[in-house]
């Protein structure tokens, strides 16, 4: 047992006392700071253009030109009126003008206007022109019919929904659906990336010890299971340390920095949600770490390891593919199934917890199932590890490797 702790300590040191690890641990909070504050900032602030756009305008009606120019100037789009269409076009080609808008003579009847650019259109500019142009022409048409454009606009405005969350104490908070979606996506991405990153690092380190024959020296001192446990828990401690720092940093921003500086913190970023993120990450880590270690032991080289990992990665990819379905319908039977199926549970249950309020018993059941599966996987993985670590010179396929379980 003492030797397992020795391996855990060394593996932890080798993982954590390393520049990449420290850099990522330091940069992580900035990343988290960005994702916690940015959505709010982005939602409140319109995307203002940074520079002025010089756009050519070819039109007969001078008053129409003046109205259009004035309205577009607010959006930093400057219209340059010209009488010669061909010279305007050549200015676009030479790059003096960003684009050229051509208004036909009978513009009130036209359905389609032409906008010339050198290469594609700047989306901001085209949308601004389209919006302003449409608004002016529709108002003119309504006025010609003797209708009040302002009155028509208020009559045809559709009501929209505002989402509020209430907790047990009756506190209400406004919750933007898009915001929740973004946060769920970020959380899931974080688990997905870190599990793969750490998993790869375990798999590769086992493989490296196997190919460099270090493992033979280790095996002359300790049992194969001790090596596997030592590796998984050593790297696991590093993962807990790193994500622990990140999560406490995030909670610090949400609870202390946010309120003090009056930042708009999305309502879904609660301490309990961060703790769910932390716990599901740790569970996902141990679930997949054992598999990565076993496959690292069974692989012949790095390419072979990646081939073997594909079927395993599918379990991590499925929730990513289903994510929008899960967010819009978190209580569907398929969502419930995947939130209890151990290999997808850490990701899917996390989404459900974020966007819905699954029964507490279900969450508990999910934890129980994942922990039980980790136990079984570690047991099976250590069997594969024990055999694989000494098998060299042949690339085994997944089926052959699974057959080692019965040897």
- For other proteins, the closer of residues 132 and 294 by Cβ is 294
CB of 323 to other proteins, least distance (A): 38
- For other proteins, the closer of residues 45 and 394 by Cβ is 394
- For other proteins, the closer of residues 183 and 215 by Cβ is 215
Q: Is 163 in the site for other proteins (CB under 8 A)?
A: no
Q: Is 393 in the site for other proteins (CB under 8 A)?
A: yes
DSSP classification of residue 256? I
Nearest to 309 by CA among 197, 212, 177: 197
The Cβ of residue 358 has, within 10 Å, a number of other Cβ atoms equal to 18
Lateral strand order in the sheet of 114-117: 77-81, 53-58, 99-102, 114-117
179's torsion region: left (phi>0), alpha (psi -120 to 50) or beta? Answer: alpha
DSSP classification of residue 343? T
Stretch that binds other proteins, among 1-9, 85-93, 147-155, 289-297 (CB under 8 A): 1-9
Query: Can you tell me which of 60, 163, 324, 392 binds other proteins, judged by CB under 8 A?
Result: 392
49 close to 124: Cβ distance less than 8 angstroms? yes
CB of 35 to other proteins, least distance (A): 32
DSSP classification of residue 55? E
Q: Is 14 in the site for other proteins (CB under 8 A)?
A: yes
- For other proteins, the closer of residues 15 and 273 by Cβ is 15
Mark 345-384 with x for binding to other proteins (rule: CB under 8 A) and - for no binding: ----------------------------------------
Report how far Cα 27 is from the mean position of its chain's Cα atoms: 17
Q: How far apart are CA 342 and CA 356, in angstroms?
A: 20
- For other proteins, the closer of residues 17 and 264 by Cβ is 17
CB of 77 to other proteins, least distance (A): 57
Can you read off the two tokens belonging to residue 130? 């389209």
Stated as kind and residue range, the H or E segment containing 316 is helix 302-321
Residues 328-339 as b/e (b if ≥16 CB within 10 A, e otherwise) read eebeeeebbebb
- For other proteins, the closer of residues 60 and 400 by Cβ is 400
Q: How far apart are CA 288 and CA 271, in angstroms?
A: 26
Query: Can you tell me which of 3, 81, 140, 383 binds other proteins, judged by CB under 8 A?
Result: 3
CB of 258 to other proteins, least distance (A): 40
- For other proteins, the closer of residues 303 and 392 by Cβ is 392
274 close to 36: Cβ distance less than 8 angstroms? no
Q: How far apart are CA 308 and CA 295, in angstroms?
A: 7
Map the footprint of other proteins across residues 165-224, applying CB under 8 A. Answer: 209, 212-223
CB of 222 to other proteins, least distance (A): 6
- For other proteins, the closer of residues 79 and 293 by Cβ is 293
Contacts of 150 (CB under 8 A, 6+ apart): none
The Cβ of residue 165 has, within 10 Å, a number of other Cβ atoms equal to 14
Map the footprint of other proteins across residues 222-281, applying CB under 8 A. Answer: 222-223
CB of 299 to other proteins, least distance (A): 17
Stretch that binds other proteins, among 27-35, 48-56, 371-379, 389-397 (CB under 8 A): 389-397
CA distances from 65 to 60, 81, 134, 235, 340 (A): 8, 8, 14, 67, 63
Query: Can you tell me which of 42, 321, 390, 405 binds other proteins, judged by CB under 8 A?
Result: 390
263's torsion region: left (phi>0), alpha (psi -120 to 50) or beta? Answer: beta
- For other proteins, the closer of residues 71 and 235 by Cβ is 235
Query: Can you tell me which of 1, 2, 86, 159 binds other proteins, judged by CB under 8 A?
Result: 2
- For other proteins, the closer of residues 173 and 213 by Cβ is 213
CB of 216 to other proteins, least distance (A): 5
Can you read off the two tokens belonging to residue 399? 């089926």
Q: How many residues bind other proteins (CB under 8 A)?
A: 23
Residues that bind other proteins (CB under 8 A): 2-3, 6-7, 10, 14, 18, 209, 212-223, 390, 392-393
């Amino acid at each position: 047992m003492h030797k397992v702790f020795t391996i855990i300590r060394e593996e932890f040191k080798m993982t954590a006392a390393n520049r990449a690890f420290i850099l990522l641990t330091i940069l992580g909070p900035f990343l988290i700071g960005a994702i916690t504050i940015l959505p709010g900032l982005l939602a409140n602030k319109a995307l203002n253009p940074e520079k002025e756009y010089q756009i050519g305008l070819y039109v007969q009606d001078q008053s129409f030109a003046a109205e259009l120019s004035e309205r577009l100037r607010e959006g930093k789009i400057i219209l340059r009126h010209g009488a010669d269409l061909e010279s305007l076009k050549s200015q676009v080609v030479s790059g003096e003008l960003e684009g050229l808008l051509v208004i036909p003579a009978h513009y009130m009847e036209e359905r389609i206007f032409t906008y010339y650019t050198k290469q594609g259109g700047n989306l901001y500019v085209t949308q601004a022109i389209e919006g302003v142009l449409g608004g002016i022409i529709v108002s003119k048409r309504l006025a010609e019919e003797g209708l009040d454009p302002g009155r028509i606009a208020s009559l045809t405005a559709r009501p929209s929904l505002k989402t509020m969350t209430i907790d047990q104490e009756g506190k209400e908070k406004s919750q933007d659906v898009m915001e929740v979606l973004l946060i769920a996506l970020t959380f899931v991405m974080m688990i997905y990336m870190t599990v793969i990153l750490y998993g790869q690092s375990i798999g590769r380190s086992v493989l490296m010890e196997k190919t460099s024959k270090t493992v033979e020296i280790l095996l002359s001192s300790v049992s194969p299971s001790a090596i596997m446990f030592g590796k998984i828990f050593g790297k696991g401690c590093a993962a807990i340390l790193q994500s622990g720092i990140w999560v406490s940093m995030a909670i610090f921003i949400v609870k202390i920095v946010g309120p003090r500086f009056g930042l708009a913190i999305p309502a879904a970023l609660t301490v309990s949600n961060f703790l769910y993120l932390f716990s599901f990450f740790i569970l996902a880590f141990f679930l997949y770490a054992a598999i990565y270690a076993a496959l690292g032991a069974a692989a012949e080289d790095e390419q072979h390891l990646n081939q073997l990992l594909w079927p395993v990665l599918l379990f991590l990819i499925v929730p990513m593919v289903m994510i929008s379905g899960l967010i819009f319908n978190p209580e569907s039977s398929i969502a419930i199934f995947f939130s209890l199926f151990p290999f997808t549970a850490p990701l899917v249950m996390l989404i459900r917890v974020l966007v819905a309020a699954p029964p507490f018993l279900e969450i508990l059941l999910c934890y129980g199932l994942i922990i039980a599966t980790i136990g079984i996987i570690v047991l099976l993985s250590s069997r594969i590890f024990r055999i694989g670590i000494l098998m060299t010179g042949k690339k085994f396929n997944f089926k052959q490797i699974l057959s080692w379980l019965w040897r």
